[in-house]
Structures are given as structure tokens and as C-alpha cells.
Structure 1
Amino acid sequence: MTRRRPQDGSSEGKTYANVSAPPTMKPLTVKMLKRAIDARQTPDETLVVNGVPVHNLTVVGKIVGVESKSSYVLYKVDDSTGVCDVKVWSDQDGDQTAEPIEVGAYVRVYGSVKTLANEHMIAAHTQQAVRKITDHNEVTFHMLEVVYASGHAEKTKVSGGAAPANAYTVPQQAPNVAANGDLGSEEIDVSIMGVLKQFAEGEQGMTVDEIASKQNGKFTRDAIKAALEEMSNGGEVFTTIDEDHYAAV
């Protein structure tokens, strides 16, 4: 049975720099964020992703829940790797100067992780820190940015060099920093999801070979197939017209 997937735009010609995160913000997926949170020994400990401390972060996803109170708005944001809570506090006088963003909208979130009563969330201290996305290419570009930032961090860690302060750019071939392990697995998952969201048309999705052709040689077909099967078991993708066609949830 074919399931419907979110409809993302697929127009081309946008420059990556137009939608990339500020250099002080670490682009992450929800899965990466939760893994970093779970790795902490105490709630006050700094988040570490790929060996790099993370103080401020950005995620991109779809709003699947909204709870509006006089002092805050709580969003549930789903980026296809997981769901996280995003809490936006109102102005000091308690007034909400803007209506909450509706369920179903895609947003970019800027903030930092806070833990309150053993509940983890992204704290966005201004309403402008949750921005509605109007060009859905930004969803794909964020995933590519996550892949490149992860590879860049690993490369810097191995070489012992310092990361440049300027914003990231997308290379023709993102660094394949690991054949096995968490970083390699995270990189291939995010890259596959980015390809599916940008290039899959209709409800039949894309074949394994079609997905592999968009990877610029970063991963082998066998690695992509294995990752797709794992992502399917995790509910991130699903097969459509046959066992070789996949679409993003």
C-alpha cells in the first residue's frame, strides 16, 4: 500500500549560501541532537557532536504539534529522523506579538538545548528564532549542510586544524569520513533523505540506483541499499511500487 509523503518543492538555481545556517549555529538533525543529549553525563554538560562542543544549533523540520500558552508556545518539530520539542517564550510582558505557526508548516529553528524537569527541548528565546520556511529547497539544503558540517568536523579533528569561521559551502563530493560507525551511518542517512526529498517525484519514489546516482560517488550502491533497509525498519522511508523503490515518510 502506497503512503503519501510530504510535498516539497524541487526548483533549482538557489544558492546554498542563501539558506545556510549562521557559522555560530551547528546544523543538526533531531537524531544527532538526541544522541548527543543521551551521551551527556549531567544535564549541565555541554553537548558534543562529532567531538565538537555545541552551544547553539539549528534544525529544520515540519511542525506536527502546537501548544500555545500565555507565556510560551511549544512546538513539536519532526525532521524525519525524530521529533523534538521547541519552546518559544513570549515577550517579558507576556504578550504574544505573533500568531503561532500552524501545524504542517516547515520551519527552521535556532536555539540551544535546555532541560526542565528532566524534559529536553530546544529553547528559542525570541519568536524570530522559529522561522517559517517558504522555499522547501531549504529542507534539502539543511540536510546537505548537516552532512558537510559533520564531515568537516571529522576532517578537522583528524588533521588537528581549526575550523574556519566562515559559513559552510557545499562541495561537489562531500567527504566520506567513515566507512563504518555512527558518523558514517548518520552521514549516509541524511544524504539519502536529502536526495529523496529533493528528487523523488510522484508516489513511486526512487530506485536504489537512482538514489546512488545522485550521491556523486560518496557511497557504494550496497551501502545505500543497506542504509535504506535500516531506515525502512526505523520508519524513516518506505517501499512503494516494489522492493527497489523508496520514498521518504
Structure 2
Amino acid sequence: MDGGYGYQNNSYGGGGGGGGGGFMPGETNSPSGGKGESNQTLRPVTVKQALDATQPYPEANYQIDSADASTICFVGQVRNISSQSTNVTYKIDDGTGEIEVKQWNDPSSADSMDTDEAKEGDDGGSGKPKIELNGYAKVYGKLKSFGNKRYVGAQVVRPLTNINELHVHLLEAAAVHLFFTRGPPGPKTEAGSGGAVGKGGEMSMGGGDYAAGNNKALPAMSPVARRVFNLLKNEPQSNEGLHMQLIAAKLNLPATEVSRAGDELLTAGLVFSTVDEMTWAILEY
């Protein structure tokens, strides 16, 4: 099941094809013939995900959310450009972290990089837009490390032609992260169609608790956190959510207990802060 995000057999865009996840043809990493790399993946990520990726053993593909990420793509602002005789090194910052990106001038020197596609990222004499300092760029490449320092061996580095690409990419990275950590989206469950609403406003089906409008079971939480969650889920409110003091008044609970419950829900990723740290709203998922 691809869950609607273009994932098939842990491969974003169907194992390197150009049709999945909104990628244009020619922008993905296709395995070179005869190399035996049929299980290629292309994954949209944030820089923090790239820096936090794990490697089960030397020479293995890096993994993010326990899934192979042999080739990654991300979008960020170019903070530095360093040109050498053999390569160009960029520092890319997407707001979650900063990472070095190394693009070889001689494609044959770049490990596991496809020659033709590497040439696509070279602007020399082609008339294409160039990568500019403090501009935004999209990077396709492989995670590597040297001397315990993580970097990306780039196959393609191209400037953004529309800033909306940045926003779309971050949404894609979030959607794929949720796919691997929480599973594909399921059908919505509504009261009166197989679900029952309990006295406290909790949705139950077969004894389980479910997040707002979703069949994903809620994590274990304290009784006070559950009461706060149910109030946030069912109380009429604006997009700003409810302030901690108002929640305490409505539940007739001490503000300190409500504050601890809010921290618990924030840590579990069930609510998020809005106008200030003490105003919370339900995170729909």
C-alpha cells in the first residue's frame, strides 16, 4: 500500500521514477544499468532528518524512520559557496539545520552518481539559472560521512524557480515522515457509523481511544491529560485554540496540573502551541 504518498516498497516515486510525489521527470536518481541497485529510494527530507539519519553498518544505506533513504532531496537557503578545482561545496540551511553539500565537477569522481544527471546540475555555459549565495536551492544526492562529519554527495543542485517549492517540499517531508512512523492514512471514523462517543467525548471502538476524526489509536496518557485533550477536541473555539487558564477553569482543575498535562500532550505531538506557549490547539492527523 502506498498510502497516497507515492511510496511503494519503501521507494518514493516508485524506485527512482519521475512520476511520484510531484517530482519532475529527470530529477530523481535512477539506478545505472549493471550496478545491481534496483532497490533505490528517493526521499524528501529536512536537513535535521539527514543529520539524524542512522547507518546500520558501514557501507549500508542510511535510514530515516527505520526505512532506507539511499537518495534524498531537500530544499534550503545557500549560506556559503566554496569552489575548488574538483568540486563545489555548498552550505545549505532549511531552518531545521545546516549541512554541507559537495558537487563534483568531474562526475566520474562522485561515488554512485549518474554521469548524465550530474551534468544537469552544472550551469557552466548552459545559460541556466545559477546557484546564488542566500538564494534557495533544491538538492538531490546521497548521504555520506567523512571524519565523523555528515555531508551530501550531490547529484543535482538547482536553484528554486518558485518559493512555493520550499513550502511544498516541507509538507511532503512531513507527510512521508508520518507515513513511516504512523502508517498510511485510514478511513475516517464518525459517530453513528461504527464508533461510539463516550461520556467524556472520547471516541471509542472496541475499547480503543482515537484521535480527532482519525482511526489512529491515541498513546497512553495521564487522566488529566486525557481530560484536557478531550476538552480541546470538543470545545467550540477559534483557530487559536484555548488558553491554559481557560482550560483549568472549564475543567475545575489547578493551573499547575493543566500545565503539566499540556506539556505531556505537546511531547506526544497531540497538540501544538499557537499565539503563546500556554495556548494550545489540537493537531489534526
C-alpha displacement of 1:154: 3.1
Match of 2:176 among 127, 131, 149: 149
> What letter is aligned with 1:28?
V
Gaps of 5+ in 2: 1-20, 30-40, 110-118, 187-211, 220-237, 242-265, 280-285
C-alpha displacement of 1:41: 5.4
Structure with the greater relative contact order (CA < 8 A, sep ≥ 6): 1 or 2?
1
1:66 & 1:29 partners in 2: Cα distance?
A: 20
Q: Quick one: percent identity of the two aligned structures?
A: 26
Alignment of 1:72-83 (within 5 A): 72-83=87-98
Residue aligned with 1:209, SS: coil
Q: 1:18 to 1:40 in 2, by over 3 A?
A: closer
Alignment of 1:17-56 (within 5 A): 17=22, 22=28, 24-36=41-53, 39-40=54-55, 42-56=57-71
> What letter is aligned with 1:131?
R
**Residue of structure 2 in register with 1:115 after alignment:** 145
Aligned 8 A contact 2:28 2:140 in 1 = no
For the aligned residue pairs, the C-alpha RMSD in angstroms reads 4.3
Alignment of 1:197-208 (within 5 A): none
Match of 1:65 among 74, 77, 80: 80
Deviation string 1:39-90 (CA, Å, 9 cap, x unpaired) is: 4355533211122111010011000011101100000000000001000000
> What letter is aligned with 2:22?
A
Residues 1:224 and 2:269 are matched in the alignment:
no
TM-score by length of 1: 0.53
1:64 & 1:31 partners in 2: Cα distance?
A: 16
**Residue of structure 1 in register with 2:124 after alignment:** 98
C-alpha displacement of 1:110: 0.2
Gaps of 5+ in 1: 1-15, 160-172, 181-206, 211-218, 230-242, 245-249
Which structure features the higher share of helix residues? 1
C-alpha displacement of 1:92: 5.5
> What letter is aligned with 1:209?
E
Q: 1:208 to 1:88 in 2, by over 3 A?
A: farther
Q: Which moved more, 1:47-56 or 1:63-72?
A: 47-56
Residue aligned with 2:131, SS: coil
1:104 & 1:176 partners in 2: Cα distance?
A: 43
